[in-house]
Structure 1
Amino acid sequence: DLPWLPLYLGIVFLFHPLLGFVGLGGAVVIFVLILLNEVMSRAPVAESNREAASRSANVEIGQRNSEAIAAMGMQPALSSNWTARNADYLATLLRSTDRSGLFGTIIKTVRFVLQSAVLGVGAWLAIQQEITPGVMIAASIMTSRALAPIEQAVAQWRGFVGFRQALKRLREGLAVAQRDDEQKLDLPLPKKQLDLEAVFCGPYGEATPFVQGITLSLEAGDGLGIIGPSGSGKSTLARALVGALAPLKGHVRFDGAEIGQWDDDRRGAFVGYLPQDLQLFDGTIADNIARFRQDVEADTVIEAAKRADVHDLIVSLPDGYNTLIGRGGRNLSAGQRQRIALARALYGNPFLIVLDEPNSNLDSVGEAALTNSIKVMRDHGSIVVVIAHRPSAIATVNKILCLKDGKQTAFGPKDEVLKQVLTPAQTPPPGPVQVPIPSLQGGVA
């Protein structure tokens, strides 16, 4: 009804200019109140939306970790935490709705007063015989109808403000990811080199980057082991390598081109990633290995499984590659999920393979398969980056990057770097590294 407001006020002006000015003055007062409502409601609504998002995130985390919560008796503590967060959310929601309700009530009162004022002015004009009593009633009704939509809009103002804030966030997010597909030239997939140039990275919103000034160069066939104590930024660097986290400063280059020059789908063709917190998706084993792509050939899926040495395990299952693994891979053991996630990382023979603690859930057979997979992919020309607390995972790499407090302390051939970071008594014997290294306060990581 709001677009009809000028028409209704125009008709009132035709009845009598004085009645029109009374209606117009009331409309101006209401619009001023709307502006005040906008200014005073913006912050409470934003705070309420943040609390709602935080509350939803807690629910999702609880669902993903329900087994750990039940096993360790964490439910009472988490319930108390939920109650506290919910109380904060309800308090912010109450403030925002009270603010909107206050202005809604004021505007409704102004509208009723204005309607009475139009009747009063109309009665005076009727006494003066400038208008008829029928015009007086009509003017009152028209003014009321003209301003009623404004009152309804103010009652829904909290939702409108939330919509505008969400739209702003959406536009900002799309602006970051926007690509000019019509003018963009698809680069060939990298095959030669990976360079990091003074890379700083960390989660958005943090004052200090978790990783600072990393510079290194890797060529096709290189294997890099990243070691360092817990909290030194290893996983953060891994996310920057695969494009999951944009560098705050510096460059990640493949064959001289920054990683952002490939769009997401194209980047997936040359990047394989096994994250520390691995997640499989509801679907078949074949779907998960093939990354849920539509144009998939069975031979490519089987090849990835064989490179991860998990083919025999898969075919031993009742439905083989068509086995439904359930949400989060709940129908498989932790070791089986990790080996299938490794096959997913190797799918399509990517140029860069980043494995973050790939042997955390593996037995000796699984570790042997992992070691063989790393060697096979390096021989194939892939760059393999391994982050692992158990040193057997870096047995087949040829280079080591040592991190401490997010900074690069050493980089180079494996034997030379290990001599720098270990004391003589801790130096491992020639051949594959098989023993933990306590001096790193967290082992080889």
Structure 2
Amino acid sequence: MSSTRRKTAEQLTKGFRSIFLYLFGLSGIINILALTGAFYMLQIYDRALTSGSIPTLLAISALAIGLYFFQGLFDVIRSQILVRIGARLDRKVAPIAHQVAVDMPRFGFSTAEALERGRDVDTVRGFLGSQGPMALFDLPWMPLFLIFVYSLHPWLGALTAGGAFVLTVLTIVTELMTRRLSSATNQAVIARNAIADSNARNAEILKAMGFAGRAVARFGRANEDHLELQTRTNDINGTFGAISRVLRMILQSAVLGLGAFLTIKGEISAGAIIAASVASARALAPIDLAIGNWKSVVSARTAFARLKETAMALADSDKPLELPAPKASLKVENITVAAPGSGRVLLSEVAFELKAGQALGIVGPSGGGKTTLVRALTSVWPVLRGSVRLDDAELTQWDDEALGKFFGYLPQEVALLDATIDENISRLEEVPDARAIVEASNAAGVHEMIVRMPDGYRTELGPLGVSLSGGQRQRIGLARALYGNPFLVVLDEPNSNLDGEGEAALTAAIEGVKNRGGIVVVIAHRPSALAAVDLVAVIQNGKMTAFGPKDEIIGKTVRRDETAAENQQHKATGARLSARVTT
């Protein structure tokens, strides 16, 4: 582990070590006070009853009540401290976990796997507020009760120690048997949640095309796998929990029986029987509680290990030096891009250069690699080889927030945030520039449409902006891409949902970016999107097969298509003539 990663892991729990030492000491006080019941019984039977003194009984009872009060008070303090530790950890780690969750889909992980990082934070926080930590803090103080029982009589101490040993073995066996199942269960949960997420996102398709039932059945099969593993885990925890409780009751009865035998023999007093029973039960309670909460212990431990990995993943990249805003060029130098997850190469050895004030149109067949190129240009997908440079600096030399100020991006599938229109256009800026929002909206030709809405720019869009039409979402997405006058604007099929008016606004927006010295890259299937571009590149089969001025490349493409059509027509004519001759 590098020193940076080690420091990051330490930062995750910084300040907690001293708190846990304090809690350990507090647990010691609580466990010492937990001997109150045993001493009370010892004094009642051996002093108050034998003396027949009511004042003695009242004094002993008053003292016991006071000690019980302090024990409860310290227990409450310990519980509240643990809850606040969980909240503090959540406050520190949840943003980091969410940041990684946002990045994970870029690298081939499912949405369910990404969101699992957030659930890990909830798991750890929930565990710290449960009875599990209480048992773990009380376990080291178990010898205190064994010593007390041993002081009453060595045989009683040996019997209690033997019971503690058996219960400890049960705890270890529980750990070994649930460790493998815990990982498998977690993977099953992720698989089930991935299917549920996919079904929810494709609800319209499932309903319209009538295969919602089959989708639900697919979810049911994944859920069955999860339930099977969950049931096995619960069976193990429940079985060993029940065994430990039964053994504890047997041990308490055995302590009482042995104490009675020793009392008959005259080796201990009657009060020692009850005191030994109370102390032995208290000695074994943490083990019993730990076994009962072992599932949450394992889940919290696994979740915290993943959170440490999450924090260390961000530590691998230091924040780069702040560079001046790009204003001259975009250079793509022989980049090769592979699909995250599968590793399959989708684009190879693509190179070109654009100067400020130029616009490039990228055309080619579906699946040829156009969207892959867009993802590489916007740093959504990392490049396997080669580099993408703004003013000769690789994209990796900027952090994401700084780079985002220079980028405008309109993806093929426009997804708007569950926020207001102005928040979407301003990219959730804490102090958005109202003038820049209106300027971007005018550039995208969407200002009039927005102000006609009941709440104007303050209109809530809801999840994914489904209340808007596809064209409205696309034009608001275009306004978001143009917000802040970014240097590089990348548009992936920006006119797929636009009407004539929208396409005119798109052309004007591209011209506007060029006129202010920006660069535009447009992925297009419809020729109207190329009206304002200067250069055209052809991407097919993962290669760039042509690059040059628009008229030249489009002319070649048209002539090639016409030649292919003529050849096809000649072949068809020849086939018909051949058929006639044969006849």
Verify same fold: TM over 0.5.
yes
Could you tell me whether the CA contact under 8 Å between 2:357 and 2:515 is conserved in 1? yes
Of 443, 446, 452, the residue aligned with 1:307 is 443
2:167 maps to 30
Is 1:15 matched with 2:135? no
2:24 maps to none
1:161 maps to 298
Cα distance 1:328–1:110, how it changes in 2: closer, same or farther (>3 A)? Answer: same
Residue 351 of structure 1: CA displacement?
Answer: 1.7
1:351-387 deviation digits (Å, cap 9, x = unpaired): 2222222111112222222222223213322222222
Unaligned runs of 5+ in 1: 429-437, 439-445
SS at match of 2:532: coil
1:227-278 deviation digits (Å, cap 9, x = unpaired): 4433344334423332333445554443344434433332221111112221
> Partner amino acid for 1:30?
L
SS at match of 2:467: coil
In 2, Cα distance between equivalents of 1:13 and 1:291: 69
Cα distance 1:196–1:425, how it changes in 2: closer, same or farther (>3 A)? Answer: closer
Residue 21 of structure 1: CA displacement?
Answer: 4.2
Is 1:296 matched with 2:432? yes
Is 1:238 matched with 2:374? yes
> Partner amino acid for 1:91?
E
Is 1:410 matched with 2:545? yes
In 2, Cα distance between equivalents of 1:108 and 1:339: 65
Computed over aligned residues only, the root mean square deviation of the Cα atoms, in angstroms, reads 3.4
Is 1:97 matched with 2:234? yes
1:435 maps to none
2:574 maps to none
Is 1:396 matched with 2:532? yes
Could you tell me whether the CA contact under 8 Å between 1:281 and 1:328 is conserved in 2? yes
Q: How does 1:197-212 map to 2 (within 5 A)?
A: 197=333, 199-202=335-338, 204-212=340-348
In 2, Cα distance between equivalents of 1:256 and 1:6: 68
In 2, Cα distance between equivalents of 1:14 and 1:250: 76
Could you tell me whether the CA contact under 8 Å between 1:211 and 1:233 is conserved in 2? yes
Residue 335 of structure 1: CA displacement?
Answer: 0.6
Residue 223 of structure 1: CA displacement?
Answer: 2.7
SS at match of 1:410: strand
1:333 maps to 469
> Partner amino acid for 2:518?
S
1:302-361 deviation digits (Å, cap 9, x = unpaired): 111122122233334444333333332233211111011111011111122222221111
1:192 maps to 328
2:32 maps to none
Q: How does 1:324-403 map to 2 (within 5 A)?
A: 324-403=460-539
Of 215, 220, 223, the residue aligned with 1:78 is 215
Q: How does 1:100-119 map to 2 (within 5 A)?
A: 100-119=237-256
Instruction: Name which of structure 1's ranges 141-150 and 127-136 shifts more when overlaid on structure 2.
Output: 127-136
Cα distance 1:180–1:232, how it changes in 2: closer, same or farther (>3 A)? Answer: closer
In 1, Cα distance between equivalents of 2:562 and 2:550: 9
> Which entry has the higher C-alpha Rg, 1 or 2?
2
Residue 152 of structure 1: CA displacement?
Answer: 2.3
Q: Compare the two structures and name the one with the higher helix fraction.
A: 2
> Partner amino acid for 2:499?
D
SS at match of 2:547: strand
1:194-231 deviation digits (Å, cap 9, x = unpaired): 34455454554324344455454444334333344333
In 1, Cα distance between equivalents of 2:495 and 2:445: 14
Could you tell me whether the CA contact under 8 Å between 1:411 and 1:417 is conserved in 2? no
SS at match of 1:95: helix
In 1, Cα distance between equivalents of 2:150 and 2:537: 80
Instruction: Name which of structure 1's ranges 204-213 and 98-107 shifts more when overlaid on structure 2.
Output: 204-213
Could you tell me whether the CA contact under 8 Å between 1:371 and 1:396 is conserved in 2? yes
Of 168, 174, 178, the residue aligned with 1:41 is 178
Residue 298 of structure 1: CA displacement?
Answer: 1.8
Could you tell me whether the CA contact under 8 Å between 2:320 and 2:397 is conserved in 1? no
Is 1:265 matched with 2:401? yes
Say how many residue pairs are matched. 427
Unaligned runs of 5+ in 2: 1-133, 569-583
Of 353, 359, 362, the residue aligned with 1:226 is 362
Greater than 6 Å deviation, 4+ residue runs: none
2:277 maps to 140
Sequence identity (%): 43
Could you tell me whether the CA contact under 8 Å between 2:322 and 2:398 is conserved in 1? yes
SS at match of 1:231: coil
Instruction: Name which of structure 1's ranges 347-356 and 97-106 shifts more when overlaid on structure 2.
Output: 97-106
1:443 maps to none
SS at match of 2:157: helix
In 2, Cα distance between equivalents of 1:195 and 1:16: 85
SS at match of 2:405: coil
In 1, Cα distance between equivalents of 2:549 and 2:243: 74
In 2, Cα distance between equivalents of 1:15 and 1:144: 15
